[in-house]
Structure 1
Amino acid sequence: MQSRRTFLTKAGLVTAAGATTLAAPNIVRAQAPIKWRLQTYAGPALGEHVIKPAIDAFNKAANGEMEIELFYADQLVPTGELFRAMQNGTIDAVQSDDDSMAAPVDVRVFGGYFPFATRYSLDVQALFYKHGLAEIWQEAYGEVENVTWLSAGSWDPCHFNTKEPIRSLEDLKGKRVFTFPTAGKFLSRFGVVPVTLPWEDIEVAVQTGELDGIAWSGITEDYTVGWADVTKYFLTNNIAGAWIGSFFANTERWNAVPPHLQELFKLTMDSSHYYRLHWYWAGEADLRVNGGKMELTTIPDAEWATVEAEGEKFWDEISATSERTAKVVKILRDYRTLMQKAGPPYRYG
């Protein structure tokens, strides 16, 4: 009893009534949270799906140790300046394709929609994490100062949605279309006039006649961002089965993040990739059948085969630009051959 009273006396204050008030413990103050600014290629409506759920989850799981502030297309810097802004530390991280943000690497042409590189969304993950593209991207960005490539994933296929119907290659000629740089370069072979505009201006540009259509997405995005309200037709042929996008970070800022938070961010990127897989896959089918806003059109297979044949020539031209692009093109061809030999459901026909 005496020992217990001695402990309580030393630990706190014994009152006249015998009650004891324990001394307040030393308060360990948490270090200020790490703050990041991440800008995505996507506008707000699209960003609600392709990035915001993942960033919200990260901020919650980081438990005050790190906070990522999310910015949408062109909010801090134009999309074409994302790479440089990240490199110089104006922003800390980016979600984009390599092509749109003008990454100074030879593999940038494969980001976004490289013609006929993919048939299905799962092709992207298979190519990067089973067939060697991840190592090539790490090598390419390892040669660039202060930018780290982190992870790649798939988005939707590349279709046309237009004000007038497209039922033949002839119908494409002269059409002013918003699209990605490399996709636009390829489509110009068929008379398409690629147009570059800020993402948020696209809907109005279609309404005013500045654009005849869009080749930037699948049907899920057309409905999500409002483009289905200003275009009447959706072409079922596509020039790529999935968009290739990535997460990047300023290297100095990435290296300053503790290992456990780096792992948490890696899990967050995987969560984002997974969400998009089922969101797009479900949306592409459902909205073709039940969307109701756009009429579906198709260029006949025999005519579309000429576009695919031109894609082979385009691959050869890109392959000739560097040893690394040649390596990527070989991987794409070997992968396509493998899928064709595997047969359904990997490839049909």
Structure 2
Amino acid sequence: MTTRRKFIQGAAVAAPAAALAAPAVAQSTIKWRMQTYAGASLAAEVIEPAIKMFNQIAGDRMQIELFYADQLVPTGELFQAMQRGTIDAVQSDDDSMASPTEVTVFGGYFPFGSRYSLDVPVLFNQYGLNEIWDEEYSKVGVKHISAGAWDPCHFATKDPINSLADLKGKRIFTFPTAGRFLTQFGVVPVNLPWEDIEVAMQTGELDGIAWSGITEDYTVGWADVTNYFLTNNISGAWAGSFFANMERWNELPEDLQTLFRVCCDQSHYYRQWWYWGGEAKLRTQGDKLKLTTIPDEEWATVEAAAQDFWEEIAAESDVKRRVVDIFKKYNEDMVKAGRPYRYG
């Protein structure tokens, strides 16, 4: 198992490279440190291109040094580090970084909150989630910059999953809220540093992973230590965001704020097509994972349980009720709209 000390030692070597070959800068250059919740192999796809673009355009006015999962602080401490200014900006979902807001439970993979990746930006930009996220993070001194979608959440496992019974007792690395939901089906959620997952699968500490779609399974090496991929998912798209320390954000000139937003949007767009195409290609052409499926009639019981879970969450606070009501309204609208928005 990779130890924290060895990993941090490696980070000390990797950090300059993570700065993305930033040009020599003047002493007055604004410098930010940003940490993503993605490990190095995944970050190369989902965040490095956007930060490289920002640094190239901003030049000696501003440079962002990018760090990978757990390099500066553990992922679960990202929010606190950003809030106090140890880190200037973060790319993560609310759930993984243990945000102390009322909306945290909806970040990452909220069970069956979305069916497709386009659902997430529509929920935020057209159904009111942006306003709620802005309110909640403003209360705690953090700027919520923008939200976007990543891949769906599937199981990749050592043993085949062909029924709900096959999930019982399985030790699964997954997101906090997804784990909370899945326990009713016998899943045992396990929390480990991202970089330790591959080794944990090899040593038997884990039976599987429910943290991504098949694109990430191949990209980060998990397809090399698992054998099966369950085509049923518990969420059609991850929901994550870019955040910044509020004070540092307010210090930026308006044009640099705009540039940062544009680069975030570029990152969101890249993930839309990279995941959408990758999921289909690797299901049909991938040679490492065998596909399995739980029958629709049996999986319908999981979807029904999600509705009860939504109500359980909504009962916890007025803000959570507002968000759940938006999810319900949105999904009702999609069903009424019919194909291609919803089938059946």
Letter in 2 for 1:206: M
- CA-atom RMSD, angstroms? 0.9
Letter in 1 for 2:328: R
Tell whether 2:63 aligns with 1:67: yes
1:204-240, Cα deviation, whole Å (9 max, x unpaired): 0000000000000000000000000000000000000
Question: What SS is found at the alignment partner of 1:344?
Answer: coil
Find the structure with the greater CA-based Rg: 1
1:38-92, Cα deviation, whole Å (9 max, x unpaired): 0000000000011000000000010211000000000000000000000111110
Q: Distance in 2 between matches of 1:64 and 1:299?
A: 54
Identity of aligned residues (%): 70
Q: Distance in 2 between matches of 1:74 and 1:209?
A: 23
Q: How does 1:200-239 map to 2 (within 5 A)?
A: 200-239=195-234
Question: What SS is found at the alignment partner of 1:114?
Answer: coil
Picking from 75, 85, 96, the partner of 1:89 is: 85
Aligned to 1:103: 99
Q: Distance in 2 between matches of 1:180 and 1:168?
A: 22
Q: How does 1:187-198 map to 2 (within 5 A)?
A: 187-198=182-193
Q: Distance in 1 between matches of 2:119 and 2:44?
A: 24
**Unaligned residue ranges in structure 1 (runs of 5+):** 1-28
Q: Distance in 1 between matches of 2:316 and 2:260?
A: 34
Question: What SS is found at the alignment partner of 1:347?
Answer: coil
Q: Distance in 1 between matches of 2:184 and 2:28?
A: 54
Query: Offset at 1:310?
Result: 0.6
1:111-135, Cα deviation, whole Å (9 max, x unpaired): 0000000000000000000010000
**Unaligned residue ranges in structure 2 (runs of 5+):** 1-24
Tell whether 2:341 aligns with 1:346: yes
Tell whether 2:330 aligns with 1:335: yes
Q: Distance in 2 between matches of 1:264 and 1:246?
A: 16
Letter in 2 for 1:70: L
Query: Offset at 1:31?
Result: 6.1
Query: Offset at 1:256?
Result: 1.0
Picking from 273, 278, 285, the partner of 1:278 is: 273
Query: Offset at 1:30?
Result: 6.2
Q: Distance in 1 between matches of 2:326 and 2:221?
A: 37
Q: Distance in 2 between matches of 1:73 and 1:279?
A: 21
Question: What SS is found at the alignment partner of 1:336?
Answer: helix
Letter in 2 for 1:172: L
Aligned to 1:54: 50
Q: How does 1:247-262 map to 2 (within 5 A)?
A: 247-262=242-257
Question: TM-score under structure 1 normalisation?
Answer: 0.91
Q: How does 1:133-212 map to 2 (within 5 A)?
A: 133-144=129-140, 146-212=141-207
Q: 1:174 to 1:260 in 2, by over 3 A?
A: same
Number of residue pairs matched by the alignment: 320
Question: What SS is found at the alignment partner of 2:234?
Answer: coil
Query: Offset at 1:147?
Result: 1.2
Aligned to 2:120: 124
Question: What SS is found at the alignment partner of 1:69?
Answer: strand
Question: What SS is found at the alignment partner of 1:265?
Answer: helix
Q: Distance in 1 between matches of 2:125 and 2:60?
A: 32
Aligned to 1:25: none
